[in-house]
Amino acid sequence: MSDEDRRPPGGGPLARGAHPRSPFGVLTLALNVIGTVLIIIIAVAVNSDIIGRNLFNQPIAGVTEFVGLSIVAVVFLQMANTLREGRHISNDLIMAWVGGSHPRVALFFYGVFHLIGVFLMCFIVWYVVPIFRENYVGNFYKGTAGVVQIPVWPFMLVVLVGGTAAAIQYLLLAWGEFRRFLGKKTQ
Amino acid sequence: AQDKISLTVAAGTPPRALLAVAKVGEFFIPEVNRRIKTAGINFQIDWKEAYAGSLLKQMQMLDGMRDGIASIGVVPSIFYPDKLPLEQLSFAVPFSTFDVALVSAIMNKLHKAIPEFAAQYDKFNQVRLGGSGVDSMELLTTFAVKSVDDLKGRKISTPGLALAWLRGTGATPVQGNMMEYYNSTRTGVYQGFIVMPSTFPAMKYPEVAPFVTKVGFGAQYATVLTINKDVYNKIPEAVRKILDEVGEQWGIETDKAHMNAAEAGYASLPGFKAQLYALPREEQVKWAKAMPNLAREWAQNADKEGLPGTKALAMFMDELRKAGVRPVRDWDKE
Amino acid sequence: MSDIAIGVLCLAGSLVLIQSGMQVGVALILLSFLGVWAINGIAIAGKLLASSATTSIASEVFAVIPLFVMMGLLVSATGMGRDTFDVAARLMRRLRGGLGVATVAANAVFAACTGTSIASASVFTKVAVPEMVRHGHTLPFAVGTVAGSSVLGMLIPPSLLMIIYGMIANTSIGDLFISGIVPGVLLAVAFSLCILSLSFLRESFVFADSSAIRRAHMGRLDEAPLYVLALKFLPVSLLVGAVLGGIYGGFFTPTEAGGAGALAAFLIGVVRRELSLRGFWEVVLETGRVTCAICFLLMAAQLYSQMLTMSGLPYAVGQWLRTAELTFPVILAGYLMVVLLMGCFLDALSIMVILLPFVLPVVDGFGTNLVWFGLITIVTIEIGLLTPPLGLSVFVVKANLGDAKITVWQIFMGTMPMTITMTLFLVLVVLFPWLALVLVGNANWNWW
Ligand code: NA
Ligand code: NA
């Protein structure tokens, strides 16, 4: 299957022939790998708790809290790469119709859509900074005092890093769409 | 001056699931309106209610109230051990009393006597209007419990905070929540759980765990009503005073409702063919002695953070004794 | 402009934006952001955005999504899915549309191990769709069948939606679970009948290949001896057995079942030597992308519902309902219509959280059986999983498919027959509360 066949509507620089090994692409992949490892850790944690509880009468305290925090981290770690692969869910009834007769108009709008993504991601990051700081300074945790305490700030740090990467990825996607809109071929 | 304000009241829990939330709509709002009218103050509050997490989820309550997303909120203080450390006091002092009204009254006294209590809320740009507890938390099991020894090797589920009550008992604590208890006990994931009696009729817990043991963990302080400070400061002083008074009264009403609900819970037991057993005092002492000194641990941790933990604990215990309670274990004097 | 008007505008805005080609998550977050900004200012909009991004999915309930997704991917990566469908095809080979029926039946069995429709949709997109296409069905029909029958995941116990309803309505979750069994099985039968009649009445919708090619495929299956089929069926039976046995044997909770199922599928794959390290890594990478797409959407949907609450729109509707002095049948019909309508725009969780606190006191006043009411609420909300513009089951199928050859819209079209079947089924359960209550021991209750 050629890249062009895989091209999801309105996204996916891979499908547009971007370098899979561009420095930023490697970064998104690295974040993706960390997120992937975290998923494996979630699976191991849940199963260890089940096995520990049933076979050794020794459940693992804090699994509930840990997996709850981890899923947020997983989502933000995977965000940029999921974007890059064009795997976020979209429903292009209108643009498919517009693109049929006015492909340039559609390209312009896809560019605008990605810019909105940049804007929203920046906003999330901007307002998560105080949340991160508060958790770091206040030593806030999830769990039960005296039993298990999981600090929240590392997870918020991950949100900041993943959110920033996603903002950059949206910007690159918007750039690609606008270049095509202006008639220059990417690569 | 402003003579009208719009206040949004939020809760992360539905009114049907938590009496503290139900009492906001049934008591707090109409009572505030009534008192403003009776006092002849020219001020009108336009209330909007948003419960069940439709505006703020349980874990968003404290931060969301600070940011002004809601003006008044029901904050489950038990879920914020990191942000409201002093409010956790009652959980560190199990085997105190079944009288939830007494526990709340003591906590109100602590709030008035020790400024660090209010400072917790100040940090989050809020003023605490009132606090309330839950009726006692009891042990429901699939097997008979006559002594702490019967728990050895058994898996017992509790919400996060009460996990500590199983320390030293030989039971395996499994973290769970109210929604899981019924099915997980029926399938055998665990053999018992710790829950409030007021939930018996609706949740039918005694069907799957027919041995109900009044261990004596006692009533617990759990939920507070707070108002965003900026909003509070915008309100005329006469109305502020009404909010304060009705807020405290909200706690009392909630506690009363909890006591009634607990009674109804115990009354429902024969219908489930469940049996109630109250641990005699010597067994309570045995259980309490099996635990590490939770209260001392808690107080020392608070002290380390620069909070008056030891002082609050001593005052809490003294107030208990003053009210005629004979604590099962003198946590503060060991 | 009044806050309520802003809410209405944002509702209308989603109609356009979700269809525009903008990512659905981005569209919902944008509307929420603009809505909150208009109502409460930009600072609160930003704070709510950040707060929801970091907390709304931060719970065990959402953390098991990747585990259920992984289980589905492992089932398909290890060839278990293919084998299952060979067996189903063999057993149903004399039946026109037999594979569709097999998908529904397999979904009903799987529903007994999972609590969310997301899991069902994830697993069967990987397992059933390629096989149905291989056996000559059209892609829209294949994905439509999967998306449609995924609703069984939350109707047949255990069910996440029932847990949440029980929590809001303060009703026994045990009773709610039991009330789903008869309607769940009945809906599976209804779906099967729908597929069978389609395969006769709308052949071009169901089949891509001519019947001759299909017969050749099936003929190949005929030649395989029975014991080969039995062997092929063994691994997947082991998996389902492990998950079901684990739940009902008290080893783990339905929430944890995803983790245990993923581990079991992994072990089966290793033992059968059908899972290399590289293959496993691919599966987990893909799990991450699918999880990210689904959770991003869930996060956005919750934010969107918070914005709507802030506008006061649901509150106003609730107040009106409380004061309008309507009769029960009118309220019931109106309520179901509103849920169906909301189901077009919102996710299941948000609908319950927004609507139930206002509606429950009203229906409770009429002495309504809240278990039955919960069941019809859940069925109605689940129809929303399949209706455009925002149909979560359809989106999950799309996310798992990772294939640009089919659009979300085509999946909606493919699901349409199931959606219609389900709506008719809803009428049945509304008219005959007996269906929900017979096993709960309350068979005589009725509202008319
Ligand atoms: Na299910
Ligand atoms: Na929908």
Q: What are phi and psi of B214, to 5 degrees?
A: -80, 90
Q: What chain B residue is nearest to A141 in terms of C-alpha separation?
A: B82
Q: How many whole angstroms separate alpha carbon A101 and alpha carbon A157?
A: 45
Within a domain: C442: no
As given in the structure block, the two tokens for residue C293 are 């797409």
Q: What is the pLDDT of residues C350-396, one digit of tens each?
A: 788 777 877 887 787 788 899 999 999 999 999 999 998 888 888 88
Q: Position C264: which residue type?
A: A
Rg for chain A (alpha carbons), in Å? Answer: 20
Pairing of strands B172-175, B211-214: unpaired
Contact assessment for residue B11 and residue B5, using Cβ atoms and an 8 Å cutoff: no
Residues 6+ apart with CB under 8 A from C162: C154, C173, C176, C177, C180, C374, C378
Instruction: Say what the ipTM of the complex is.
Output: 0.89
Please answer yes or no on whether A140 and B83 come within 8 Å at the CB atom. Answer: yes
Bridge partners for B5 per DSSP: B45
Query: Among positive and negative, which fits the CA dihedral B17, B23, B26, B28?
Result: negative
Within a domain: C447: no
Within a domain: C42: yes
As given in the structure block, the two tokens for residue C81 are 């899915």
pLDDT at A92 over 90: no
Cα C29 to chain centroid distance, Å, stands at: 22
Give all strands (DSSP E) within C112-239, no chain letters.
none
**Cβ neighbour number for residue B269 with a 10 Å cutoff:** 17
As given in the structure block, the two tokens for residue B211 are 């041995």
In the numeric block, the tokens 């021991």 are attached to C441
What's the N-to-C CA distance of chain B in angstroms? Answer: 56
Q: What is the 3-state secondary structure (H, E, C) of chain B?
A: CCCEEEEEEEECCCCCCCHHHHHHHHHHHHHHHHHHHHCCCCCEEEEEEECCCCCCCHHHHHHHHHHCCCCEEEEEHHHCCCCCHHHHHHHHCCCCCCCHHHHHHHHHHHHHHCHHHHHHHHCCCEEEEEEEEECCCEEEECCCCCCHHHHCCCEEEECHHHHHHHCCCCCEEEECCHHHHHHHHHHCCCCEEEECHHHHHHHCHHHHCCEEEECCCCCEEEEEEEEEHHHHHHCCHHHHHHHHHHHHHHHHHHHHHHHHHHHHHHHCCHHHCCEEEECCHHHHHHHHHHCCCHHHHHHHHHHHCCCCHHHHHHHHHHHHHHCCCCCCCCHHHC
Within a domain: C346: yes
Number of domains making up chain C: 1
Q: Is C41 on the interface with A (CB under 8 A)?
A: no
Q: What is the pLDDT of residues A100-118, one digit of tens each?
A: 888 888 899 999 999 999 9
Contact assessment for residue A116 and residue A41, using Cβ atoms and an 8 Å cutoff: no
Which residues in chain A touch residue B160, judged by CB atoms under 8 angstroms apart? 64-65, 143-144, 147
Which of A64, A145, A147 faces B301 most closely, judged by CB atoms?
A: A145
Which of B16, B49, B189 faces C250 most closely, judged by CB atoms?
A: B189
Please answer yes or no on whether A147 and B88 come within 8 Å at the CB atom. Answer: no
Contact assessment for residue B262 and residue B306, using Cβ atoms and an 8 Å cutoff: no
Alpha helix locations (H) across C41-97? 42-55, 60-63, 65-77, 80-91
Within a domain: C331: yes
Within a domain: C170: yes
Contact assessment for residue C47 and residue A127, using Cβ atoms and an 8 Å cutoff: yes
pLDDT at A96 over 80: no
Residues in chain B: 334
pTM value? Answer: 0.86
- Closest Cα in chain A, distance from residue B334 (Å): 19
Which sequence spans correspond to the domains of chain A? Answer: 18-181
As given in the structure block, the two tokens for residue C101 are 């029926």
pLDDT at B4 over 50: yes
Which residues in chain B touch residue A142, judged by CB atoms under 8 angstroms apart? 82
Pairing of strands B4-11, B72-76: parallel
Q: How many whole angstroms separate alpha carbon A75 and alpha carbon A77?
A: 6
- Closest Cα in chain C, distance from residue A138 (Å): 17
pLDDT at A7 over 50: no
For residue C24, give the ligand nearest its CA. Answer: 2
Q: Is residue C130 helix, strand or coil?
A: helix
Within a domain: C370: yes
Which chains are adjacent to chain C, needing at least 3 Cβ pairs under 8 Å? A, B
Please answer yes or no on whether B81 and A138 come within 8 Å at the CB atom. Answer: no
Which of B63, B153, B164 faces A147 most closely, judged by CB atoms?
A: B164
Within a domain: C286: yes
Query: Among positive and negative, which fits the CA dihedral A155, A160, A161, A163?
Result: positive
Task: Select from B58, B57, B114 the least CA-distant residue to B86.
Answer: B114
As given in the structure block, the two tokens for residue B234 are 């915008």
pLDDT in tens, chain C (448 residues): 788 899 889 888 887 887 788 888 899 899 999 999 999 999 999 999 999 999 988 988 788 888 888 887 888 788 787 777 677 777 777 777 788 888 898 888 878 777 778 778 887 888 888 888 887 888 999 999 999 999 998 898 878 788 778 877 877 777 888 899 999 999 999 999 999 999 888 888 888 776 656 665 666 556 667 788 888 888 888 888 888 888 888 888 877 888 898 999 899 999 988 888 888 998 898 889 888 988 898 888 889 888 988 998 888 877 777 787 788 899 899 899 989 988 887 778 778 877 787 788 778 778 889 999 999 999 999 999 999 888 888 888 888 887 667 888 889 999 999 999 999 999 999 999 988 888 877 777 888 7
Which residues in chain C touch residue A46, judged by CB atoms under 8 angstroms apart? 64, 67, 256, 258-260
